[in-house]
Amino acid sequence: MQTLILSPANVQPIQKKLYQHRNLQCSVLRLDAVHPVVSGNKWFKLKGFLQAAIAQRKKTVVTFGGPWSNHLLATAAACAAAGLSSIGLVRGEKPPQLSATLSDAQGYGMQLHFLSRDAYREKEVPLSLLENYRNNEWCLIPEGGYGREGAMGAAEILKDIPLTDYSHIVCAVGTGTTLAGLSLAAGISQAVTGIAVLKNARTIDEEVKAVLPADKNNFRIVHDFHFGGYAKKTTELVQFMNRWYLETRIPSDFVYTGKMFFAADSLLAAGYFPKGASVLLVHTGGLQGNRSLPKGTLIF
């Protein structure tokens, strides 16, 4: 399989008085910097699905996402690299003007089909596609790359990281697939904390467990930092993201990583992590989604 060329992810230490005070170490795994388009966790989650598609001689990959979806764009780029066609089933009616994300996805050859919100919720594949692809040449990737394949791929995020340097790992949680992958890769002495970005994500613990072996329960999901729900934001969040950038030179996105950094910073300050802990924050990318914000909202 032809794959995307990724630069190695680097680990950036964060120096803050607040952390030194309790002898805490904090570092960020910069997956945002591995590829200009397919940054972050998405390529890792997709890999297994695409390999399976190719092994089964499928020609087309179909998947789901919203108008600013990192997953849709990553799927479009990864399929283009792998020589597969891609179809994106997009939440909501077709807008008069495509979002920058959808327009980029289309640029990678992705065919877009718009689903009403109800059809999207039910993950209904349009009849027109069913007829076109009845000959079984296409395969479906669940929304967000959720599933065992996705988690196995996400486990590779930590492949080249000196894991024993860290006692705790933190990431944002949408479908929980990345969290599951990090839990798979983590050693017995490591705890993984997921920051839920959806409100009322009550079933998420079960969904993560569903893709993990029964004996893996080294993760915990914190539900207090969704800022009102998926893709919702507050002035406090935006101000934090700008301040975090000034302090660390690390840009974040307002849907996932901004909330994760805010949560991690609050938890570090609140004594959530034991004295002497060494915490690795996984920057899962997604910066392209900030293009949905009014200009000037963020300083980076």
Q: Are 148 and 181 in contact (CB under 8 A)?
A: no
* Part in contact with ligand PLP (CB under 6 A); list of ranges 55-63, 130-138, 239-247, 284-292: 284-292
Q: Which of 167, 177, 288, 290 binds ligand PLP (CB under 6 A)?
A: 177
Alpha carbons within 13 angstroms on the beta-carbon side of residue 51 total: 11
Nearer to ligand PLP, 145 or 190 (CB): 145
CB of residue 194 to ligand PLP, shortest distance in Å: 7
Residues 249-278 that bind ligand PLP (CB under 6 A): 253, 256-257
What Cα–Cα distance (Å) separates residue 178 from each residue in 74, 91, 98, 111, 175?
Answer: 15, 22, 28, 26, 8
Residue, CB closest to ligand PLP: 286
Give the 3-state secondary structure of residue 112. strand
DSSP state of 149: H
What is the distance of C-alpha 235 from the center of its chain? 23
Amino acid in the structure at residue 282: V
In angstroms, what is the minimal distance from the CB of 265 to ligand PLP?
Answer: 17
State yes or no: residue 88 binds ligand PLP (CB under 6 A): no
- Residue from 40, 48, 88, 147 in contact with ligand PLP (CB under 6 A): 40
Among residues 147, 153, 176, 251, the one that binds ligand PLP under rule CB under 6 A: 176
Total residues in contact with ligand PLP, by rule CB under 6 A:
20
Least distance (Å) between residue 132 CB and ligand PLP: 28
- In this complex, which beta carbon is closest to ligand PLP, that of residue 175 or of residue 183? 175
Please name the residue ranges forming H helices in the chain: 17-21, 42-55, 70-82, 100-107, 117-121, 127-132, 148-155, 177-185, 204-210, 235-248, 257-269
Would you say 25 or 183 has its CB closer to ligand PLP? 183
Q: CA 84, CA 76: separation in Å to the nearest integer?
A: 9
For ligand PLP, the binding residues in 136-175 under the rule CB under 6 A are 144, 172-175
The whole-angstrom separation of Cα 20 and Cα 200 is 34
- Smallest gap from residue 62 Cβ to ligand PLP (A): 18
Rule CB under 6 A: which residues touch ligand PLP?
A: 40-42, 70-71, 144, 172-179, 253, 256-257, 284-286
